[in-house]
């Protein structure tokens, strides 16, 4: 009989890797390999497999940009 793994259903909609926690990064990569997360961009994943990726990014674009460009400044003319 195999060992059943407990699935964490309380994942946030957007998940990031590369935040100085190698164990958490490995967990995210393992979940992505198992098909429980979708890769949106390098280091950016989503647990929402039902919505199109564009909609997930549209809802969380500010958080994603803040992760990809820390300390960046958005401007407009």
Domain ranges of the chain: 17-66
Where residue 33 falls (left for φ over 0; alpha for ψ -120 to 50; beta otherwise) is alpha
Q: Does residue 64 contact residue 41 with C-beta atoms inside 8 Å?
A: yes
DSSP letter assigned to residue 35? T
Can you tell me the distance from the alpha carbon of 53 to that of 34, in angstroms, rounded to the nearest whole number? 18
- Residue 57 neighbours by CB under 8 Å, 6+ apart: 40, 64
pLDDT tens digits in sequence order for the chain, 77 residues long: 555 555 556 889 999 999 889 999 999 999 999 999 999 999 999 999 999 999 999 999 999 999 999 999 988 87
């Amino acid at each position: 009989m195999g060992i059943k793994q407990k699935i964490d259903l309380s994942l946030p909609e957007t998940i990031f890797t590369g935040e100085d926690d190698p164990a958490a990064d490995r967990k995210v990569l393992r979940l992505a390999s198992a098909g429980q997360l979708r890769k949106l961009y390098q280091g950016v994943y989503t647990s929402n497999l039902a919505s199109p990726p564009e909609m997930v990014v549209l809802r969380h674009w500010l958080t994603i940009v803040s992760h990809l460009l820390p300390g960046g400044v958005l401007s407009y003319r």
